[in-house]
Amino acid sequence: MKPTLYHWEPNANSGKPMLTLMEKGVDFDSHYLDLLNFDQHRPEYLAINPQGTIPAMTHGDLVLTESTAIMEYVDEAFPGPRLMPDDPVDRWRARWWMKFMDQWLAPSFSMLGWSVFIGPAVRSRDPQELEAAINRIPMEERRVAWRKAIYNRFSPEELAESQRRVALGIDTLEKALGERPWLAGDNYSLADINGFNLAYALPLSQPDLSSDEKTPHIMEWLRKIYERPATRKTWEMGRTEMVKRVTILERGAN
């Protein structure tokens, strides 16, 4: 029985289960949702995931949400290469990194990205249509976040704190990858898939903090993941200009 994945671009949360499915070699049905067109808040999708968040995955009668939990389900439920380490210490390390990414780095990347990409991308639309679309969002905290992004209401203090966290996260990543080739240990894992989907565009979004000169270990880690066949197949599924950002990882691109 094939799963169906409801997703946006191969980026951040949507990219995590997309790349996991590809790495496992799982045949799945792709259902693209245009986040910038508020597809995730339309009745047909809310019937699947009433919270209106993406991604979500159906597998038989199951409806799975939360991207990191979906990754672990895919790894356990389907055949293919094991993406969580067997060693308990490495498995702990993989989960530590996924929590660090999800709770520390992802919100900060999201705020910065919304302020410079998502907000400007939709701000020019009809104000009444925008407000109607925002009012359809089921979760109050998501309505607040969308209004902040669209109307550029992030405070200087919020943006500064997000930038501080990103800088600390980059430093933490660089040190860890100087000690081992992959985040969990000697083998590629879900932690690397999680991290790549947040960090692949670092040389573009944070050029003052991440480059071959400043973060050589991060850059090599990103390039190794970018060169994997599953990553190439996943990024071919993108439909917007966002997917072109990943080409910064071509060797010699800089």
Question: Domain of 148: which CATH number?
Answer: 1.20.1050.10
Q: Which of 54, 77, 100 is where one domain is finished? A: 77
Count Cβ atoms within 10 A of the Cβ of residue 43 and give its class: 0-12 exposed, 13-18 middle, 19 or more buried.
exposed
Q: Which of 15, 47, 77 is the last residue of a domain?
A: 77
Look at residue 254 and tell me if it is in a domain: no
Residue 174 and residue 230 in one domain: yes
- Both structure tokens of 43: 């009745």
Closest CA to 5 of 83, 155, 21: 21
Do residue 227 and residue 175 come from a single domain?
yes
Q: What is the mean pLDDT of residues 93-119?
A: 88
Within this chain, do residues 69 and 171 fall inside the same structural domain, yes or no? no
Domain that holds residue 138: 88-249
Residue 11 sits in a domain whose CATH number is 3.40.30.10
Rounded to 5 degrees, φ, ψ at 49 are: -130, 95
CA–CA distance, 156 with 170 (Å, rounded to integer):
21
C-alpha closest to that of 207 among 197, 218, 196, 192: 218
**Is residue 53 included in any domain, yes or no?**
yes
Residue 83 inside a domain? The answer is: no
- What lies within 8 Å, CB to CB, of 140 at 6+ separation is none
Assess whether 63 and 160 both reside in one domain.
no
- In this structure, the answer to whether residues 231 and 128 fall within a common structural domain is yes
Question: Residues 93, 132: one domain?
Answer: yes
Residue ending a domain, choose from 29, 56, 77: 77
31-53 tens-digit pLDDT: 999 998 899 999 999 999 999 99
**Percent of the chain topping pLDDT 90:** 76
Reduced to 3 states (helix: H, G, I; strand: E, B; else coil), residue 2 is coil
Percent of the chain with pLDDT over 70: 99
Question: What is the per-residue pLDDT for 254?
Answer: 61
Structure tokens at 210: 């991440």
> What pLDDT, in 10s, does the model give residues 65-79?
999 999 999 999 999
Position 82 in a domain: no
Domain total for the chain?
2
